[in-house]
Structure 1
Amino acid sequence: MAKTKKHVLTVVKKELLPESTNIIQTDDGTLYYCKYTPPVRLYVQWQGKEIEATLPVESIDSHGSQGKVVYFTSQQKMYKAVFSPSDGITISYLRELAEGENHHRGAISSIMKAGKRYVCPMWEEPKKHGVVKDLSEEELKGLRWRGVHRSKDLFVLRNKKMSEPTGHKYGENAIIIESSIESPVQLHAEDSSQFIHVHFKSNELHILNTKTAEFRPTVQFDANLRIVSIAGVFNGKISLKCLIDKELCVVTAKLPVGYFGNTWSADDELKITRRFGEEKQLEIPNGFDSRFIKDFEVTRILGSGGFGVVFEVVHKLSNWKYAVKRVSVEKGREEAANKEIKTTVKLSYHTGIVRYDYAWKEVPPPDWQSNADSILLNNIGYSKDIYALTLPKFTSFLYILMESCNYSLEYWLNTHRDESSRHLPRIKSSFKQIVAAVAYIHQMDFIHRDLKPANILFFAEGWLKVCDMGISAVRSIDGKTDFTRTSIGSKMYMSPEQ
């Protein structure tokens, strides 16, 4: 049997890592540096400068990340850290750890309750949200527990007969990874991704698709590099803590094009790269200098409708992920567009409302935008017969740059239909956050005219934000509401007066 060819990853960035320092990557690509020996530090590198947090602690016992938030514990207390270019790193106290609560490698928390061990990600409370490890002692023989992913226990089993690692689901609550390799196994799993990153050998990387319980083809680094830990994957690149020639380094490597597809193999890499390159030869037409095209790379479409379209983008200079809302503006409607900006600015200072960054207007030549959109859709992999994003009558476009969120409450509800997956304490917390955000909107003399699950977003695990402030109505001083008499909102969620 021919030996499977392994693709060698291309290192695109390498830097020496300070002593006693770990790296943590959040879902938006931000890389945090955590020095865990006194004096402890938590900082990010932003545009060539170190931005450091003012820590309220003298030690860091454990850490992990979820969404855009870094969590860490110290002296039986848990804190969270969030970075933004405008505010730096904001530290907030979360909770006191429960008696008997333990923290493990991989940002996992556990606790014993009624003779059973409950486990969950460290940012959740194991007493309330823990998943019971319900395998029998007989079933657990030979299994080594390595963490939790999407409420499923992850186990590793040594099997001398295996030539390559394999994965399989075990019941409803467990995934087992089998391997003949004796060396310690490390896993990196984020609930926001269906893929788990595994490394057994010093320079090889294995990636498991948890939906199919199958491994993608093995990829590897040059022989002089040894993987210590995996920080995360963002925008087609993986960041790792590595040992290179006896020096600890932060390494960023580019994953092969199409790697997460169903048919990729190392032998196909040249062919796929060539084909992908040909597709990318489709360039946005000349004749207009678009700030949106020049400054941002579009990764996907988050939503569209009568309001316009929302893109997920990466800022080319900073590699920071944002959401950009594009609103088509008809002639004579410029004042309404300006009103949307002013409303969004006024309401974006609350932690429960999606933050606005800045906005700009573009007026392309006739037909330019339609042609550019067609090419853009092709380049991000959408079918060519997808609905048009623009209409010929629109002559200008308003772009609003906002912080990006992970997913909507609508998505969460659709994927948590089981009563067992809807924990009452979490629902109460979510409801309080929504009420607090709506109360703030009312205090600012506005009314949200389309409050629905699709317009409530998860910024991070357990942290909700209200979006789409642009269609809010102004509430007059005399108590009357200045509604424009157009059909704004969603019928199922409209109030009677609308």
Structure 2
Amino acid sequence: MTSEDSYLLEFELGEVISDTTFIHQIDSGTIFFRENDVLWLQYEGAKTEVKLLGGFRNSMMAAQGDSIYYGSNWKRKIYRAVFKPPGQIETYYVRDLIKGENIHQGGMCSIVKNEKLFVYRMCDDPIRDRIHIDVPKDTLEWAELKGLHGGKAIFRHITNQSILPSVKQMGTNGVLLSCFRGTPRRFLELLNSRNDMTEYYAPWGSPAVNYGAYVYMTNGTSLFVIGPVEVKMLPPLHFQNVSCFHIAGIHEGILVGRAKCKKTGKYRLVTTELPYDYMMEARPVLTTYSERTTIPIDDRSIEFTSKFLTEFTVKSIRGEGAFGCVFEAVNNYDEWEYAVKRVAVDVGAVKFALNEVKAMAKLNHPNIIGYNSTWVETPPKGWQVDADLELLQKLGSTKRFIGKFNDGCAFIYIQMQLAKLSLSDWLHKHQDQSDRKLQRMKAWFKQIVCAVDYIHKEGLIHRDLKPNNILIVEANHLKLCDLGVARERKFDEGPDTGISGTWGGTMLYMSPEQVRCLLRSRNSMILGHQSTDKSCFNEVINLLSRKQPIHVIFKAFRYSSKSDVFTLGLILAELCLVMSESARWEVFLIWKVAL
């Protein structure tokens, strides 16, 4: 490059691509091509492609770290694509956008909280990694958020006016590039074709690319190189043989992108070596949020990060049972309160347990508690005990444990709609018969029956119906919960078809059908002890006679949805009649033995 053309940059023209194909380069130098909802690359002469998870309508895409991230403000989700040599591109769901969050062209995100503007990349954690930018919150109404460099946000203001490009400080940690549009729109000119639109809007989606101490941006016809630390700009580099340039990335001093050839008018993959004075030693490859939080299950030497304790603030422990505990917690992202149930399972039984959770996830009914999400955590041995003790101390509790679990087990977390009152709570608080208005109790019972009927029509049996698993979310709105023990039955064998397998439920509300199945099974296991038919019967009577809930697990039996129907009758009796606890146990025992 001679002194006469020291401000001109000539590109090498690569393969021809369509004007709707865009290019993204990750830190390793791998180049991805994207057209609509298809992402592909060339590796060792072979083409590998994938249809993007979640589609691509109104989505924005960026290369960040060693992954491709994309998402949309319309679908409110962010996804990630990763190349797995030699021939596979895997796509993953990363997270939902939080309330008030927006994605910007080039892979940046922003949110305004308490009149303050926070920014971060799509690959970042929106709570832990966001940076407060000391600029007016309406800055994004006239300036584009293009990137981050260190602790500074990079903005660009592009105009149709013929101005000299400049860079200036905004607030304490914002940098603004002002520049002219590469393809200006003439006065009263209409954009009548797709080509016109492509050229005019060429720079909008082009990201700001970091390489060493510099940030690189384009307006489609020139390259602007700024140093955010010193807030300075090098002389612009004007493109000699291309226009409509869109930056893909910089790797080992080579600038890569897609551009329109001035001679042929065709779009191509283009590359050029940056002048020595326009590049500095590249910084280490960034580590993205998704990559940081991926904890190998079997590698106990890695420091463990709990998704639950990171993304939620626990307010209280709502309840504990034989199968887990329920937290009342605030999601740090959307700031809503949720019930988060934690269930301890053996590591080898996680897949089976998740199959039962899927039963809850697919249900959608006004009288069934709302389901949000599920995840699994496998902390190192001893970690959960210490974390629980620390949490209990924060909550002001003198307890030392939260639930019972084996050290080294896995924990399934189920995030659900929060309801602070159960039907059991209501029944205990309203011990006067005048509180049990028949019309109201009938309306409540109808809601419960509708929920159970819906479950049965979906091919499931609840198996653990009881007032404690019926929640009151509003004055007269009941919702069924705790479907974690629901099991499937086959439709093709009729509504009375039974199921067989392991069962967990509450003894007081066990149906006679379940008791008979228990008695007929020579291999039944009550509380972990092998029993004969006679001793089994005596133990059942003994357990049913106790004045507190007892949980039973037994195997190799078959029963039908009728077991839920029997339990509905017990619940109806509790709704309509005020009974002392001892009377309730005695009456229920008589009904079970008599039947």
TM range (shorter): 0.3 to 0.5
Structure showing the higher strand proportion among its residues: 1
Structure showing the higher helix proportion among its residues: 2
So what's the TM-score if we normalise by structure 1? 0.47
So what's the TM-score if we normalise by structure 2? 0.40
Q: Which has the higher contact order (CA 8 A, sep 6+)?
A: 1
